[in-house]
């Protein structure tokens, strides 16, 4: 019996935390409106997600498939927690990793074409596949990836996303596991980027409007 998956809901009116309460790299101090989700809260929530995932999927070889680039920090921390459960639990299963890179955005607008770069999906046949994503917005990208994965006839496919954004464009897709459900705000940090900047920021933060112009790809 799969465990029931809950998400940590953040209300639309939530404004976050004053950035002066946290350690922010000096090169980004003028660019951030607020700290939205502090790093410590991300790590605690990730630990719980790892437990839920192992309860549901931990009876058979797991292939953890990281969606690059934005998912790499969440992926690494999630796998650390899964590894700890493997080492300290009553049962353990092999966990192997693979990567897929999806190009989606230029500036803060979705790209016209979604392209999958360098994916190697032939090893997924008969495996339990855990797709690890940073953020789900409309869900269209994830549906396209899942279609490719299911062609390889895996034993099971589950999706975990650190963030799910509430948007009017969403057709209603929900991942199997969600870290935080957030309002329709443009967030960066913890490997989520704006034109490759802000990946080196520990916290998830709200970007100032004038910073979008500052870092705009020209």
Domains of the chain as residue ranges with CATH: 14-214 (3.40.50.2020)
Bridge partners (DSSP) listed for residue 207: 32
pLDDT at residue 132 in the model: 97
- Which residues, including other chains, have CB under 8 Å from residue 25's CB and lie 6 or more apart? 200, 201
CB atoms within 10 A of CB 6: 12
Predicted model pTM: 0.89
The overall average pLDDT reported for the chain is: 88
Give the model confidence (pLDDT) of 28-75 as tens digits.
Answer: 999 999 999 999 999 999 999 999 999 999 889 999 999 988 999 999
Q: Residues near 139 by Cβ (< 8 Å), separated by ≥ 6?
A: 170, 171, 172, 173, 174
Mean pLDDT, range 150-158, rounded to an integer: 93
Peptide bond into 97 cis (omega under 30): no
Residue 110 banded pLDDT, cuts 50, 70, 90: low
């Amino acid at each position: 019996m799969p465990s029931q998956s809950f998400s940590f809901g953040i209300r639309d009116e939530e404004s976050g935390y004053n950035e002066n309460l946290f350690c922010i790299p000096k090169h980004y101090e003028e660019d951030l409106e607020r700290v939205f989700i502090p790093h410590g809260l991300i790590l605690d929530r990730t630990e719980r997600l790892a437990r839920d995932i192992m309860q549901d999927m931990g009876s058979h070889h797991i292939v953890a498939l990281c969606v690059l680039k934005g998912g790499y920090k969440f992926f690494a921390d999630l796998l650390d927690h899964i590894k700890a459960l493997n080492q300290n639990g009553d049962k353990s299963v092999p966990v192997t990793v693979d990567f897929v890179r999806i190009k989606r955005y230029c500036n803060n607008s979705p790209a016209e074409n979604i392209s999958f770069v360098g994916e190697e999906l032939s090893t997924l046949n008969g495996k339990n596949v855990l797709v690890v994503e940073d953020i789900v917005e409309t869900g269209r990208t994830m549906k396209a990836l899942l279609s490719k994965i299911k062609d390889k006839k895996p034993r099971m496919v589950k999706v975990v996303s650190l963030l799910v954004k509430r948007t009017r464009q969403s057709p209603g897709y929900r991942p199997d596991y969600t870290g935080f459900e957030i309002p329709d705000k443009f967030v960066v940090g913890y490997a989520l980027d704006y034109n490759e900047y802000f990946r080196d920021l520990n916290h998830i933060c709200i970007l100032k409007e004038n910073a979008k112009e500052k870092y705009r790809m020209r």
